[in-house]
Amino acid sequence: MREETLLRRQAMQDFDEAFRTEHGVFCGIDEAGRGPLAGDVYAAAVILPEHCDIQGLDDSKKISEARREKLFEEIQKKAVCWCIATASVAEIEKYNILKAALLAMKRAVEGLAQQPEYALVDGNKLPELSVPAETLVKGDAKSASVAAASVLAKVARDRYMAEQAKLYPNYAFEKHKGYGTEEHRKLLLQYGACPIHRPSFLKKIL
């Protein structure tokens, strides 16, 4: 398993080096929080330097919470620049979750201290950006830069939901991070929705 992880990490680094050679300085972009029933949607954009080796970097969904927390700090230290941005629950309700996620991605790129020459976006939908860009399905498992953005977005959103748990202690947000777990659904039926719930996501529950 360790050898497999090392090979995957090397493949992600090699992908970035080849992509950088073709497109110049680029940022990886990913989002977190499209699926939950509550909370803002987060996105991150990251520009990594050439030959950047971050041990343990992978798709955030494949990494433990403890490992993500450590990587969060390391990515921020080693990156050329990075930015985390959000779209609010109100914006999710106004535009729909996909458009809100793309808006968060746009804000993340605009917030970078250095604008890239190109952008690589996880998934199959492009946000409206001022730089050329392309999508990469499962990019967080193929590109180190996209994986780094995945980790930043995921950790930032999890921390945000832990803070929301203090404001709305009835919902156990610190455990499920707003996802529609059985416990979360039971608590929704017991207490009703709170201000950070996404009304359009609750129609089949409440």
pLDDT higher than threshold 80 for residue 174: yes
Tell me if 189 is assigned to some domain: no
Tell me if 197 is assigned to some domain: no
Each residue's pLDDT tens digit, 111-170: 999 999 999 999 999 999 999 999 999 999 999 999 999 999 999 999 999 999 999 999
* pLDDT tier for residue 11 given thresholds of 50, 70 and 90: very high
Tell me if 50 is assigned to some domain: yes
* pLDDT tier for residue 5 given thresholds of 50, 70 and 90: confident
Q: How many domains are there within the chain?
A: 1
Which domain range does residue 37 map to?
A: 2-157
Each residue's pLDDT tens digit, 101-128: 999 999 999 999 999 999 999 999 999 9
Tell me if 109 is assigned to some domain: yes
Tell me if 38 is assigned to some domain: yes
The tokens describing 109, both together, are 């790129």
Tell me if 77 is assigned to some domain: yes
Give how far the C-alpha of residue 204 lies from the chain's centroid of Cα atoms, to the nearest Å: 26
pLDDT higher than threshold 70 for residue 190: yes
Identify the CATH number of the domain in which residue 6 sits: 3.30.420.10
Distance CA 122, CA 134 (A): 9
Tell me if 59 is assigned to some domain: yes
pLDDT higher than threshold 90 for residue 6: no
Sign of CA dihedral 166, 171, 172, 173: negative
Give which of 67, 76, 72, 23 is closest to 48, Cα–Cα: 76
Each residue's pLDDT tens digit, 58-91: 888 889 999 999 999 999 999 999 999 999 999 9
Tell me if 57 is assigned to some domain: yes
Which whole number is the average pLDDT over 6-17?
Answer: 93
Identify the residue whose tokens are 């996802």: 179
What residues have CB less than 8 Å from 6, skipping those under 6 apart?
Answer: none
Q: Are 11 and 143 in contact (CB under 8 A)?
A: no
* pLDDT tier for residue 201 given thresholds of 50, 70 and 90: very high
